[in-house]
Structure 1
Amino acid sequence: VKNYGVTTETFDVNCSIWELVSSAVADWVHYDGDNANAIGLTSPGTWEAAIRLTPTELAPYDGANLTTIMWHQGYEANPDTDVYNPTVKIYAGGTSDHPGSLIYNETFGPTSGTGWYNFTLSTPITIDASQDLWISIEVDDPGSGYYPQGVDAGPAVDGKGDWLSMDGGATWDELQNYGLDYNWNIRAFVEGGVTTYELIYYDEQTVTNLAPGEERYVEFTWPATPGDYIINVKTLLPGDVDPSNDEKEINVTITPADIMPPTSWIVPSNIVNGILHLGVPVKIYARDEDSLWYEIHYKVDGIEGVGEHNKPVDLGTFSLGLHTIEYWAIDTLGNEEYPHHVVTFYVTPKDGVTPALDFDGYHEFIDGVWHISPDTKISFDENILARNGITSVYYGYHTEGGENVTEWMQYTGPFTMPSGYYHLLYYGIDKIGYHTPTVVIRIMVETSNPPETSIILDPAVPDGNNGWYISNVGVSFVASDGDSNHVTTYYSIDGKEWQQYTHPLTLGDGVHIIKYYSIDENGNKEAVKTKEIKVDIYAPVITVEKPKNYLYIFDREIIPLRKPVIIGSITIKASIEDPATSGIDKSTLYIDGTPRQTFESSIECIEWQWNEFSFGYHTIEIKAMDKAGNEAREEMEALFFNL
Structure 2
Amino acid sequence: MTDITLNPTQPDGLNGWYVTAVVASFQVTDVDSDPVNITTYYDINGFGIQVYDPLNPPVISSERPNNYIEYWSNDTINEEFPHHRVEGIKIDLTAPVITLYKPSALIPKGRVLINGTATEYTSGSGIERVTIQLNEEEIYDTTFNGEPRVWFEWNFTADLGETYDIFVEVWDKAGHSIQERKTVQCPDYGLYDTGYIYWFNNPKIGPVNLLVTLGLSIAVTQDSLYVVLPGVSTEATQVQFVATQTFLKKNLTFWDRNLSDGCSVELLVPFGIYK
TM-score normalised over the length of structure 2: 0.58
Residue 504 of structure 1 is aligned with which of 44, 57, 62? Answer: 57
For residues 508 and 495 of structure 1, the distance between their equivalents in structure 2, rounded to whole angstroms, comes to 14
For the structure 1 residues 504 and 535, does the alpha-carbon distance in structure 2 shift closer, same or farther, using more than 3 Å as the test? Answer: same
For residues 104 and 134 of structure 2, the distance between their equivalents in structure 1, rounded to whole angstroms, comes to 16
The reply on whether 1:621 has 2:177 as its aligned counterpart is no
The reply on whether 1:483 has 2:32 as its aligned counterpart is yes
Q: CA deviation at 1:641?
A: 7.2
Residue 547 of structure 1 is aligned with which of 92, 103, 107? Answer: 103
Residue 571 of structure 1 is aligned with which of 84, 101, 113? Answer: 113
For residues 548 and 528 of structure 1, the distance between their equivalents in structure 2, rounded to whole angstroms, comes to 59
- Give the alignment of 1:215-614 within 5 angstroms: 452-485=1-34, 486-502=37-53, 503-511=56-64, 512-532=67-87, 533-549=89-105, 551-553=106-108, 567-581=109-123, 582-599=125-142, 600-601=144-145, 602=147, 604-611=150-157
For the structure 1 residues 628 and 614, does the alpha-carbon distance in structure 2 shift closer, same or farther, using more than 3 Å as the test? Answer: farther
For residues 185 and 71 of structure 2, the distance between their equivalents in structure 1, rounded to whole angstroms, comes to 60
Q: CA deviation at 1:491?
A: 0.8
The reply on whether 1:632 has 2:178 as its aligned counterpart is yes
For residues 509 and 591 of structure 1, the distance between their equivalents in structure 2, rounded to whole angstroms, comes to 37
State the secondary structure of the residue aligned to 1:604: strand
Conserved 8 A contact 2:130-2:141: yes
Conserved 8 A contact 1:571-1:607: yes
Identical pairs, percent: 32
Q: CA deviation at 1:635?
A: 0.8
For the structure 1 residues 518 and 500, does the alpha-carbon distance in structure 2 shift closer, same or farther, using more than 3 Å as the test? Answer: same
Structure with larger RCO (C-alpha < 8 A, sep 6+): 2
Q: CA deviation at 1:579?
A: 3.1
Q: CA deviation at 1:514?
A: 0.5
For residues 552 and 612 of structure 1, the distance between their equivalents in structure 2, rounded to whole angstroms, comes to 8
Structure 2, unmatched stretches of 5+, are 189-275
Q: CA deviation at 1:458?
A: 2.3
For residues 43 and 160 of structure 2, the distance between their equivalents in structure 1, rounded to whole angstroms, comes to 61
**Matched letter for residue 517 of structure 1:** W
Conserved 8 A contact 1:587-1:624: yes
Structure 1, unmatched stretches of 5+, are 1-451, 554-566
CA RMSD between the two structures = 2.3
Conserved 8 A contact 1:571-1:608: yes
**Matched letter for residue 129 of structure 2:** K
For the structure 1 residues 591 and 576, does the alpha-carbon distance in structure 2 shift closer, same or farther, using more than 3 Å as the test? Answer: same
**Matched letter for residue 111 of structure 2:** S
**Matched letter for residue 504 of structure 1:** P
For residues 160 and 62 of structure 2, the distance between their equivalents in structure 1, rounded to whole angstroms, comes to 45
Q: CA deviation at 1:583?
A: 1.6
Q: Which runs of 4+ in 1 moved over 4 A?
A: 612-615
Conserved 8 A contact 2:107-2:186: no
Instruction: Write the deviation string for residues 530-561 of structure 1: whole angstroms up to 9, x where unpaired.
Output: 11322111100111111132x332xxxxxxxx
**Matched letter for residue 168 of structure 2:** I
- Give the alignment of 1:98-247 within 5 angstroms: none
**Matched letter for residue 608 of structure 1:** W
For residues 630 and 587 of structure 1, the distance between their equivalents in structure 2, rounded to whole angstroms, comes to 12
Name the structure with the higher strand share. 1
Q: CA deviation at 1:527?
A: 2.0
TM-score normalised over the length of structure 1: 0.26
For the structure 1 residues 480 and 548, does the alpha-carbon distance in structure 2 shift closer, same or farther, using more than 3 Å as the test? Answer: farther
Instruction: Write the deviation string for residues 142-166 of structure 1: whole angstroms up to 9, x where unpaired.
Output: xxxxxxxxxxxxxxxxxxxxxxxxx
Q: 1:58 maps to what in 2? A: none
Q: 1:192 maps to what in 2? A: none
State the secondary structure of the residue aligned to 1:526: coil
